[in-house]
Amino acid sequence: MTLTAHAVVGVAAASLFPSHPKAAFAAAFVSHFLIDAIPHWHYSVKSIEIDHKDPMNTDMVFNKYFPTDLTKIGFDAALGFFTAYLIFHDHLNFPLGLILIGTIGGTLPDPLQFVYWKFRHEPFTTLQRFHKWIHADKNLDNRPVWGILAQAATIPAAILLVRFI
C-alpha cells in the first residue's frame, strides 16, 4: 500500500484508543499489516531488487534510481501526513498528537523493511518475514486505475470506520 493509505488508516486505527498513546501506536502499527494483506497497487520503486527465489534476499540498492525513488517515497509520506492532518485534525478535530502517533505507527513497518535490508538482524528479520508473509501475493500493479481507486477508497472507508465506532 502507499504510505498515504497507511497513514490515513493508521490514524483511524489509533483513534480507537484516544487516551492510550501506546495502545494507539500499536493499533496503527498493526493496521499496516492488515491492509497490506489486501491485494493492492504499488508505484514502482526501481531501486528495490526483488529476489523472487528468496524474498528475504531482496534489497534496496543505491543505484541511479534511488534518488527518484526516495523523492517519490518522501512525497507519498508527506501526502499521507497532510491528508491525515486535513481529515482528522482540521475536519474531525482529533488532537495533533494522535495524528502523529497514527501516521508514524501506520507507516513505520515500511522503513523497518529498509532497516532489515541494510542490517539483517533480529528483530528485523522476523518482522520482515512476517511482513512478507502477510503481504498480499496478488497485486494490482498491472491495473493502475483500479489500483489507485482502491487506495483512494481506503480514505472514506477509514473515515466511516472512525465515525461509526
* Minimum CB–partner distance for residue 91 and Zn ion (Å): 26
Cβ atoms of residues 109 and 29 within 8 Å: yes
Instruction: Give the burial class of 25: count Cβ atoms within 10 A of its Cβ; 0-12 exposed, 13-18 middle, 19 or more buried.
Output: buried
The region of 29-37, 54-62, 88-96, 118-126 touching Zn ion under the rule CB under 5 A is: 29-37
| 36 touches Zn ion by CB under 5 A | yes
Measure the CA–CA gap between 44 and 28, rounded to whole angstroms: 25
The one-letter amino acid code at 32 reads H
What would the grid cell of residue 106 be? 501506520
Q: How far is the CB of 147 from Zn ion (least distance, A)?
A: 15
Residue 94 or 155 having the CB closest to Zn ion: 155
Residue 76 touching Zn ion (CB under 5 A): no
Number of residues counted as binding Zn ion (CB under 5 A): 2
- Residue 87 or residue 131: which is nearer to Zn ion going by CB? 131
Cell numbers representing residue 108 in the block: 513505520
Contact residues: Zn ion, CB under 5 A:
36, 110
